Amino acid sequence: METIEKAKKTFIDDICSIPGGEKIRLCIQCGTCSASCPNVNKMEYTPRQIIAMARAGMRDEVLSSNSMWCCASCYLCTVRCPRDIKPTELMHALECVAVSQPSKKAKTKTPAMYKSFSDFAYSLGSVPEVGFMTWYYFRTNPLRAVKMMPMALSLLRHGRMNIKAKRMKPEAERQLKAILNKAEELGGIE
C-alpha cells in the first residue's frame, strides 16, 4: 500500500514540477473544460477525466492516453475555467512528463510531429516547413509523404514552398545553441 501511495505522490509531484502543472490540485471537477473543448470527441479521456485520473495516481493510463496530444492549444477551457487552472498549460505539462518518462506509447503521431518541429527549432533556429514535414514523415510514415505530393506541388506552384532554409548568422546560431545547451544542462524546471 505504501508503495502505491508513494508512486501516486511521485506522479503528482512530477506534474506539479512543471509550471502550470501545479494547478491540478485546484480542480473541482466541474467539467467546463471538457464541455468547451473542440477536440474532446477524439480524446480517450476528457480533460476533466484526465485530471481526476492523474490525481488518483493512474500514471500509465494518463501518460499513454492520446488526450493531451489532441489539445490544439485553443485556450477556450483556460478562459472559462472557474478555478483559473489553465487546463491548456496543464496539458502541456502532461505532454512534457509523457515524453520524459518511459511509458506505453499513446496512439497518436502528435508527439513525433512536435519532436520533429522542435528538432528544427533547436538545430537551425528556424523551422522551414518543407524540411520539418519531410523529417516528420520520415520518422512516422514515409508513404504519407507520397500522398502529400499533390498538395506540395500546388504549394510550390503558388510560391508557398521554400526549399532552402533561412539560416541565422553563424554567431547567432552559436549563441542560441549555447543557451539551449545550458538549459539542458540545468536539467529541467526544478
Partner 1 sequence: MKRYYTYFPGCSSSDGGAKAYGMSTEAVSKVLDMDLIELEDSNCCGSTPYSSVDELASLCNSARNLALAEKKGLDLVTPCSSCYVILKRTNQYLKEYPKLKAKVNEALAAGGLEYHGTVKPRHLLDVFVNDVGYDEIKSKVKINLGELKIAPYYGCQVVRPFASFDHPEYPQTLDRLVESLGAKATPFPLKARCCGGSLIISEEDLALQSVNKLLENAVSNGAELMITVCPLCQTNLDVYQGKTNKKFKTNFKIPVLFFTQFMGVAFGINNKTLGMEKCIVPADKVLAKSLKGAKGG
Q: Which chain residues interact with partner 1 by CB under 8 A?
A: 18-20, 38-39, 42, 69-70, 72-76, 78-79, 86, 88, 92-93, 95-96, 99, 108-115, 117-118, 120-122, 124-129, 133, 136, 151, 154-155, 158-162, 166, 168-169, 172, 175-176, 178-184, 186, 188-189
Cβ 56 vs Cβ 50: under 8 Å: no
Nearer to partner 1, 9 or 115 (CB): 115
Nearer to partner 1, 21 or 57 (CB): 21
- Quick one: how far is CA 16 from the chain centroid? 16
Nearer to partner 1, 30 or 183 (CB): 183
Letter for the amino acid at 5?
A: E
Closest listed residue to residue 33, CA positions, set 21, 51, 17 = 51
Nearer to partner 1, 103 or 128 (CB): 128
164 contacts: CB under 8 Å, gap ≥ 6: 128
To the nearest whole angstrom, how small is the minimum distance from the Cβ of residue 133 to partner 1? Answer: 7
Q: Kindly state the DSSP code that residue 106 receives in the 8-state scheme.
A: P
To the nearest whole angstrom, how small is the minimum distance from the Cβ of residue 82 to partner 1? Answer: 15
To the nearest whole angstrom, how small is the minimum distance from the Cβ of residue 52 to partner 1? Answer: 22
Q: Residue 32 is placed in which grid cell?
A: 467546463
Q: How far apart are CA 189 and CA 89, in angstroms?
A: 15
Nearer to partner 1, 3 or 169 (CB): 169
To the nearest whole angstrom, how small is the minimum distance from the Cβ of residue 3 to partner 1? Answer: 28
Burial class from Cβ neighbours inside 10 Å (0-12, 13-18, 19+) for residue 51 reads buried
